[in-house]
């Protein structure tokens, strides 16, 4: 029996992600044992190997950058009760816009401005893709979840067409990819000898701005009210339409920025696979980070562990690449279940009168 608590438990709100992570490791242990794989070795590779040396640790941050950018945007979106699951598409559009600027920059243009222009273009591309579901929701009441999901496919197909068609590199011998971006469009490294780049600074700054906006401004108050009590927010004069549009523009823009950052840093060109899967994983980041933009920074690191651990397991244990998803899925399951206990307590005893 679940019984509603008089007030939400603040301790559990903080503890829930920790409990969920511990349960994920335990369940992973059981699952690998059940499948006849060495569970101790598997857990060591998945959860400890990403921390063993400086290179792995820097790669952890590299993976966390797009996750944090998207996750902090989704955090404010979910806070408003708007379920944007189209971040993969917004990420892809951002990558396309940034790639378009990088590939079509005039020769000899002031190179200093090329990278900022790519970032801005990526933000605008993501905003555009986030704005469509918001507009359709506001004007006709169409479901944001479904429209944003459909747009994800459209974005992926658009990218596929561009890299095989108009933007294909004639020197790539038919491989579906564009030419390498010019040097001016590439994200400079933050630490020499690693792949860690300035996107980290962008992610931290974005999370700080969003946190400030959510906690300290009138707009942030409107977002929080709409999520908690939509009718009260409406009576207080916060327009539902404007709030939906705002959070979709911001979260779309940040997903687009993440796409722009990723293609100008680690990928350096456009190709059909630009790791848009970050867009789904970032949903876990947002929940794990307690729908708080700053929490998303920490949560992005936790999710990055599963990515690096998964890559290491693929090499060392010859496990399929998708095995890392086992942990991501379990983490979200456990987290959602634990979060219920913030608002409800478990009652073993049957309530008299049969509920």
Partner 1 sequence: MEAFLVTMIVAATPLLLAATGELVAERSGVLNLGVEGMMLLGAVAAFAVALSTGSLAAGFVAGAAAGAGAAALFALVALGFTANQAATGLALAIFGTGVSGLIGQGYVGNAIDPLGPLVAADSLPDHWLARVALGRDAMVYVAIGIAVAVWIYLTRTRSGLKLRAIGDDAESAHAVGLRVLPSRCAAVLFGGACAGLAGAYLSLAYTPLWGENMTAGRGWIALALVVFAGWGPIRVIFGAYLFAAASLAQFYGGALGLSIPSQFLSMTPYLATILALVVISAARRGGAAPAMLGLPFRPTR
Binding site for partner 1 (CB under 8 A): 2, 4, 31, 35, 83, 85, 136, 139-143, 145-147, 149-151, 153-154, 157-158, 160-161, 164-165, 280-281, 283-284, 287, 319-330, 332-333, 336-337, 339-340, 344, 355
The smaller minimum CB distance to partner 1, of residues 198 and 325, is found at: 325
Q: How far apart are CA 22 and CA 4, in angstroms?
A: 25
Q: CB of residue 334 vs partner 1: minimum separation in angstroms?
A: 9
**Residue 123 or 167 having the CB closest to partner 1:** 167
For the CB of residue 150, give the shortest distance to partner 1 in the complex, in Å.
4
Which lies closer to partner 1 via its Cβ, residue 214 or residue 283? 283
Q: CB of residue 22 vs partner 1: minimum separation in angstroms?
A: 17
| Shortest Å, Cβ 318 to partner 1 | 8
CB nearer to partner 1: pick between 196 and 255: 255
Residue 248 β-bridge partners: none
Of 60 and 313, nearer to partner 1 (C-beta) is: 313
Phi, psi of 332 (to 5 degrees): -65, -40
Nearer to partner 1, 221 or 333 (CB): 333
Backbone phi, then psi, for 189, in 5-degree steps?
-70, 150
Contact 248, 130 (CB under 8 A): yes
Q: Which is nearer to partner 1, 160 or 213 (CB)?
A: 160
Residue whose CB is less far from partner 1, 105 or 233: 233
- Chain-centroid distance of CA 201 in Å reads 16
Cα dihedral sign for 212, 216, 222, 226? positive
In whole angstroms, how close is the CB of 239 to partner 1 at the nearest point? 18
| Min dist. Cβ of residue 60 to partner 1 (A) | 20
Three-state SS letters, the chain: CEEECCCCCHHHHHHHHHHHHHHHHHHHHHHHHHCCCCHHHHHHHHHHHHHCCHHHHHHHHHHHHHHHHHHHHHHHHHHCCCCCCCHHHHHHHHHHHHHHHHHHCCCCCCHHHHHHHHHHHHHHHHHHHHHHHHHHHHHHCCCHHHHHHHHHHHHHHHHHHHHHCCCCCHHHCCCCCCCCCCHHHCCCECCCCCCCECHHHHHHHHHHHHHHHHHHCHHHHHHHHHHHCHHHHHHCCCCHHHHHHHHHHHHHHHHHHHHHHHHHHHHCCCCCCCCCCHHHHHHHHHHHCCCCHHHHHHHHHHHHHHHHHHHHHHHHCCCCHHHHHHHHHHHHHHHHHHHHHHHEEECCCCCCCCC
Could you tell me how many residues make up the chain? Answer: 355
- Which C-beta is closer to partner 1: that of 197 or that of 224? 224
Smallest separation, CB 122 to partner 1 (Å): 21
Q: Closest approach of Cβ 17 to partner 1, in Å?
A: 14
Q: How far apart are the first and last CA of the chain?
A: 9
Q: Of 267 and 284, which has the nearer Cβ to partner 1?
A: 284
Q: CB of 310: closest distance to partner 1 in angstroms?
A: 9
Considering the complex, what minimum distance in angstroms separates the CB of residue 145 from partner 1? Answer: 6
């Amino acid at each position: 029996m679940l019984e509603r608590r008089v007030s939400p438990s603040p301790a559990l709100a903080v503890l829930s992600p920790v409990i969920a992570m511990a349960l994920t490791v335990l369940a992973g242990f059981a699952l690998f044992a059940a499948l006849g794989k060495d569970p101790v070795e598997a857990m060591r590779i998945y959860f400890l190997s990403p921390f063993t040396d400086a290179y792995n640790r820097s790669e952890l941050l590299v993976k966390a950058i797009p996750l944090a950018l998207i996750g902090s945007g989704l955090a404010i979106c979910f806070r408003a009760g708007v379920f944007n699951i189209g971040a993969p598409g917004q990420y892809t559009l951002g990558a396309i816009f940034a790639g378009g600027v990088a590939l079509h920059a005039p020769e000899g243009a002031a190179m200093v401005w090329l990278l900022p222009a790519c970032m801005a273009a990526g933000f605008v591309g993501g905003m555009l893709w986030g704005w469509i579901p918001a507009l359709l929701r506001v004007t006709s009441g169409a479901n944001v979840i479904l429209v944003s999901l459909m747009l994800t496919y459209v974005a992926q197909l658009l990218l596929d067409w561009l890299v095989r068609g108009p933007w294909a590199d004639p020197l790539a011998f038919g491989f579906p990819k564009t030419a390498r971006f010019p040097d001016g469009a590439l994200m400079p490294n933050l630490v020499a000898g690693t792949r860690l780049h300035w996107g980290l600074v962008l992610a931290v700054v974005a999370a700080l701005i969003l946190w400030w906006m959510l906690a300290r401004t009138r707009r942030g108050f409107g977002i929080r009210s709409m999520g908690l009590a939509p009718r009260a927010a409406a009576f207080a004069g916060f327009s539902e339409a404007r709030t939906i549009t705002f959070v979709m523009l911001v979260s779309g823009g940040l997903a687009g920025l993440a796409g722009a950052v990723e293609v100008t840093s680690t990928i350096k060109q456009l190709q059909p696979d630009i790791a848009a899967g970050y867009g789904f994983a970032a949903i876990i980041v947002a929940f794990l980070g307690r729908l708080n933009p700053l929490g998303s920074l920490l949560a992005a690191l936790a999710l990055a562990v599963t990515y690096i651990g998964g890559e290491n397991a693929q090499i060392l244990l010859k496990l399929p690449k998708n095995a890392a998803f086992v942990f991501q899925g379990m983490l979200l399951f456990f987290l959602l279940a634990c979060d219920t206990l913030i608002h409800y307590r478990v009652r073993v005893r049957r309530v008299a009168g049969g509920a």
